[in-house]
Structure 1
Amino acid sequence: MRAIVCEQIDQLRLVEQEEPVLLPGMAVVRIRRVGICGTDLHAYKGNQPFFSYPRVLGHELAGIVEQADDPQGKVKAGDQVSVIPYMHCGNCIACRGGKTNCCMDMRVLGVHIDGGMCELIAVPVTHLLVANELTLDQAAVLEPLSIGAHAVRRSGIQAGETALVIGSGPIGLGVMAFAKHRGARVIAMDIQEERLAFCKRWAGVDETVHALQGAKERLAELTNGEYPAVVFDATGNARSMTDAFGLVSHGGKLVYVGLVKAELSFSDPEFHKREMTLMGSRNATIEDFSAVLEALQSGSVDVGSYITHRVPFAEMIQHFDHWLKPEAKVIKAMVEL
């Protein structure tokens, strides 16, 4: 079968590999859609802290089950599925507490172990979500949208509270959509006016703020000088993540959804006087995937305009470098098999 391997920084190669075999408790899935994530782009450029080379990329996956060995009979051949790419151990303190998304021995497809940028993949049936009522595109974007939904759930934001979401990439957009779903007042912040306009159209945010044009003063105006109760940073940018400390209300929360390969520092007096809560938000759980699946089934999330670029599998490598450029205006790129 064909697979695309990131052999080293700035190098992708189409290779032939052996097809996976069916093992107990597993399913063999024919991949039909692979979403391109910031993680893939960062790994390609050498900026992903958990990545090792060579690696088959791909963790935003949808496909059709070809064979399944499911003792409970929930997954069967012919089912359309979304893959939950976080392979947790099930035994550590995080897993025992239901926080499988931050397992001590986490292995994420396409990051720690080979992913789904290939024709066939073997996956535990416990990590498949049957999505026969969705389109293949919808099933493929369950994963990035679930990361946003998890961050919102973890924040505990309440209806009527104000949320600031910094960064309007695919993850930030998911945060905005699900914060609005919870009834929050949502402010989007980014450095691109075109992206901010998209946040209004796609996520229905209430206000937008340009990050480089008096952002702090504008946020003060929008919140009567109190600042947002919850700030989500989905940029993966060290400067933005550090500056975000100054944008949180007293008694508020700062949630890091993005990841940066760097050390961060902050002013303890500013942190302390606000009695601020700093939170990390990593991956998602089955509960988040299920909630997003329901939202997609209801039609409350528009996947059509979320996916801005698509290419056949055989042409993916030639487009990858272009997707890194701002002028490409990529929100979500999708590879079709």
Structure 2
Amino acid sequence: MTLMNYLSEKLMLLFLNLFCSIALSIYFILLGNSFPSVLPVLFVWAFILAIVWGSGYYRQKKKAEQIFHQLDLLDQKYLICEMLEKPVTNEDKLYCHILRAACKSMLENVNHLKQSNRDYKEYIEEWIHEIKTPITAIDLICKNNPDSEERRIGKELSRIGDLVEQALYYARSEHVEKDYFIREFALFDAIGPALMQNRTLLLEEHIRLQVEETADTVCTDEKWLTYILSQILSNSIKYHKPTGAFIKISASRTKNSVSLIIEDNGQGIPPEDLPRIFEKGFTGSTRGNRKSTGMGLYLCRKLCLKLGLAIRADSVFGEGTTITINFPDSTYNRPGQDN
């Protein structure tokens, strides 16, 4: 609140006081008093008015600053009415009553939406677990009848399975802390399962794989890390070169962290697309006929942030892409922070 804003609200009173002071001056002059003798009365009037309005402005300004300070401290701004002092004036009581009614309605809506979201999430997770059963059964049938048609069906079935898995991890990504188990383990223990999940595509696309074994250990959730690596590998496979494609996985240690590096020589990412590849739903300008949901790398970054890891992409269009995941030594103590 500024002084000009405060005075603009008092404009009618200001004109009224000005009119009254002029009328009083004329009255005193008509009674035979000189104008200089009337001036002290006008000065006293103006002084009292300045004191009253000045103190009123100061009180309102301090009150507004206090309310805004309390508002800044709140994560859920709609709870501000619970922090307000008991109103004194009738006008303040009226506004406070309106604000409390609005906040109550907001809280009821928020609680309803939270419950609806929980119910929907539980349904999605249950549905995903149920749909996995027929997918697994069809996959076994295809593997037991390995002709060309079954292989094609198996490939599409694998894609369905990946999308179902992606939906499950997306449903859980808002509350990773309820599902993860942080422990120290060998980094290679998460790389192996991720490679196994993509082994069929790696073989079918004739992609050369180079994995540098590492004895480094990291402190995070193994299951979630395996999913992140599987998504990155899936992207590298999807955008591989027609011939001579390779994927290289290595690790390096610095003083305070371990970095996992997944490098490929695929088509790369255009410079204008690179800053957006971790955005939700972004599919890029060079995907061609490849099917993409734009959720894979978005989930990777989201899960990395939840786990306290940093993920970065470097790419040269036409030459390949490098994804680096950084594991700070203090990850266990700092979940949910970007590094």
Confirm or deny a common fold (TM above 0.5): no
- The structure whose residues are more often helix, as a share, is 2
The TM-score with structure 2 as length reference comes to: 0.21
- The structure whose residues are more often strand, as a share, is 1
Higher relative contact order structure (alpha carbons within 8 Å, sequence separation ≥ 6): 1
Say which one has the larger Rg.
2
The TM-score with structure 1 as length reference comes to: 0.21
